[in-house]
Amino acid sequence: MGSMGPPHPSLLLVFARASCLFLLFCLCLGDSCPQPCQCPDHVGSVAVDCSFRGLQEVPQDIPTDTVLLKLHANQISHLPDGAFQHLHRLRELDLSRNAIEAIGPSTFTGLAGGLRLLDLSFNRIQRIPKDALGKLGAKIRLSHNPLHCECALQEALWELKLDPDSVDEITCHTSVQEKFVGKPLVQALDAGASLCSVPHRTTDVAMLVTMFGWFTMVITYVVYYVRHNQEDARRHLEYLKSLPSAPASKDPLGLGP
């Protein structure tokens, strides 16, 4: 039986073309546009538009070279830790008009270097952890959120680069100080007010009640102690009075007959 000769050059060419097509398909598949989204050209950069898609979570197959990501007007309520950490080239992230309720310290991990704009307006955010957004150098929009104005929020805002076009629309839905409710937070803080100097009335009342309780206990003990000692002294005096007195001696000088 004769040995097989080298493969025909045409077969090698077909194999090489098939390999290239398969590799190209894999590369395109890896950076393809997410199924419910659109990826129009945006000044030569990769833009991913997932707006008005009824999404309840952030898509996991967003291309790694995305520069602009629009996720506004969806139903996203939760942002997992590191949801955008693979998007190292991301410059603008629009999460406005969703149902986001909370932001974790690691939600935007990986975006500190290049992000320029983060839109979180028109959501349901009540509190912002101090370290959740402080490391971002981007302009941040927080207007139209039911924020709870407290000292932690004030400290967090001090470290943020708020968007000047929407900063006056950041209002207090609730507050540790009633005078802030319904008012623009930034204007109140610019006027010299502070959320970190609230008198702790509850603590003061509790301390006053505790001190009054201790004082009452001390007075009660003192009164009991005095009355108890008076009673003992009275009984001792009555006991002494009840003792028979010694008969008087008829010979006080002790001289007998």
Query: Whole-angstrom Cα distance, residue 254 to residue 53?
Result: 127
Residue-level pLDDT at 220: 78
How many other C-beta atoms can be found within 10 angstroms of the C-beta atom of residue 85?
Answer: 13
Residue 42 zone, left/alpha/beta (φ > 0; ψ -120 to 50; rest): beta
- The pair of structure tokens assigned to 251 is 């010979």
Alpha carbon separation from 140 to 27, 117, 133, 134, 177 (Å, rounded): 34, 6, 9, 10, 25
pLDDT class of 23 with cuts at 50, 70, 90: very low
Residue-level pLDDT at 14: 42
Asked if residues 123 and 99 have their Cβ atoms less than 8 Å apart, the reply is yes
pLDDT at 22 over 50: no
pLDDT class of 49 with cuts at 50, 70, 90: very high
Identify the top-confidence range among 74-88, 199-213, 226-240.
74-88
CATH superfamily name and code, 33-196: Ribonuclease Inhibitor (3.80.10.10)
Query: Whole-angstrom Cα distance, residue 33 to residue 63?
Result: 7
pLDDT at 123 over 80: yes
Residue listed under structure tokens 């000292």? 151
**Residue 117: what residue type?**
L
Asked if residues 81 and 107 have their Cβ atoms less than 8 Å apart, the reply is yes
Asked if residues 64 and 27 have their Cβ atoms less than 8 Å apart, the reply is no
Residue-level pLDDT at 203: 52
Over residues 183-226, the pLDDT tens digits come to: 888 776 766 678 887 554 445 556 676 776 776 777 877 777 66
pLDDT class of 24 with cuts at 50, 70, 90: very low
**Residue 77: what residue type?**
S
Over residues 145-184, the pLDDT tens digits come to: 999 999 989 888 888 899 999 999 999 999 998 888 998 8
Residue-level pLDDT at 16: 47
Query: Whole-angstrom Cα distance, residue 102 to residue 81?
Result: 11
Strand 66-70 relative to strand 45-49, pairing: parallel
- The pair of structure tokens assigned to 155 is 């400290």
Greatest CA separation for the chain: 170
- The pair of structure tokens assigned to 29 is 């598949």
pLDDT at 127 over 90: yes
Residue-level pLDDT at 180: 87
Residue-level pLDDT at 80: 92
Portion of the chain with pLDDT greater than 70, in percent: 68
Query: Whole-angstrom Cα distance, residue 80 to residue 72?
Result: 17
Query: Whole-angstrom Cα distance, residue 196 to residue 150?
Result: 7
How many other C-beta atoms can be found within 10 angstroms of the C-beta atom of residue 123?
Answer: 24
Residue-level pLDDT at 64: 92
How many other C-beta atoms can be found within 10 angstroms of the C-beta atom of residue 137?
Answer: 13
pLDDT at 11 over 70: no
pLDDT class of 9 with cuts at 50, 70, 90: low
Q: Domain spans of the chain?
A: 33-196, 199-233
Query: Whole-angstrom Cα distance, residue 64 to residue 42?
Result: 16
- Residues near 36 by beta carbon (within 8 Å), at least 6 away in sequence: 50, 53, 55, 59
